């Protein structure tokens, strides 16, 4: 690695597993000090130990971002401990699929709370810090990256509320992008297709089997593939803004 993010600080939500953990490792390898934000402290401690063993800097911040107080506290803790905030990756999310007619309302609440409100709580507190970082950084830029999904581009039966949260995140990001152009804060969305993560493990048993059969013929992306995408976006020169990247598994049609 070339330490392209040396002297910067990144915060990654949902970093206890999957895309979040891979992204945290990759940004640390690029030289960023990384704040690891998630609920599972044991997972975060293990990830932080691995990053430090490789010569990186990692701060464990246990928090549930669906709580406005905890989300704001996570951002402020990262800034207090690491000194600044140059990059935020809104990765925490949950996918609960199934027909709307039979869906427990609690599943809809969970998706809105994490995929939308959690993203908003982190972003709201982080924005002033990102603006300040862009103003005083030698790189003259800061980055806000939100991981959405192909479900933020294509609506399909059985994923109505998941689609709502991901389409909404994309629209929010685009409006924010336009607002922040003059502040040199780049706003990007990454739309992964099928990725080998824990996301499907939260599905009800019958829905999980249906989802598995649908993707059985697809070689899924790996979390590192999406981490590579994040790293590509946030290491560009300030003259380059990569606002949207759609990354599908090669055999995926939707």
Q: CA 217 to CA 74: how far, in whole Å?
A: 40
Contact present, 197 and 18 (Cβ < 8 Å): yes
The catalytic residues are 162
For residue 223, which of 247, 195, 251 has the smallest C-alpha distance? 195
Give me the torsion for CA of 70, 74, 77, 83, rounded to 10°.
-150
Contact present, 223 and 19 (Cβ < 8 Å): yes
Question: Quick one: 42 exposed, middle or buried, by C-beta within 10 A (0-12, 13-18, 19+)?
Answer: exposed
**DSSP H or E stretch at residue 46:** helix 41-53
Beta strands in 78-200 (DSSP E): 87-90, 142-147, 185-192
């Amino acid at each position: 690695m070339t330490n392209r993010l040396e002297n910067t600080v990144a915060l990654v939500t949902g970093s206890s597993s999957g895309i979040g953990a891979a992204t945290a490792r990759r940004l640390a390898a690029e030289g960023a000090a990384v704040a690891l934000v998630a609920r599972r402290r044991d997972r975060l401690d293990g990830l932080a130990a691995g990053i430090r063993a490789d010569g990186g800097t990692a701060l464990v911040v246990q928090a549930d971002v669906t709580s406005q107080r905890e989300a704001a506290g996570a951002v402020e803790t990262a800034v207090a401990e690491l000194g600044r905030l140059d990059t935020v990756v809104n990765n925490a999310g949950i996918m609960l699929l199934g027909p709307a007619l039979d869906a427990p309302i609690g599943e809809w609440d969970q998706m809105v709370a994490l995929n939308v409100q959690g993203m908003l709580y982190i972003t709201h507190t982080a924005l002033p810090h990102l603006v300040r970082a862009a103003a005083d950084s030698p790189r003259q830029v800061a980055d806000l990256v939100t991981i959405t999904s192909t479900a933020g581009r294509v609506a399909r039966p059985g994923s109505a509320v998941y689609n709502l949260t991901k389409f909404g995140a994309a629209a929010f990001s685009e409006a924010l992008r336009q607002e922040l152009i003059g502040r040199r804060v780049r706003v990007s969305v990454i739309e992964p297709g099928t990725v080998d993560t824990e996301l499907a493990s939260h599905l009800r048993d019958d829905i999980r089997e249906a989802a598995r059969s649908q993707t059985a013929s697809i070689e899924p992306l790996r979390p590192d593939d999406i981490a590579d995408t994040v790293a590509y976006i946030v290491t560009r020169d300030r003259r380059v803004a990569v606002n949207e990247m759609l990354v599908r598994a090669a055999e995926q049609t939707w």
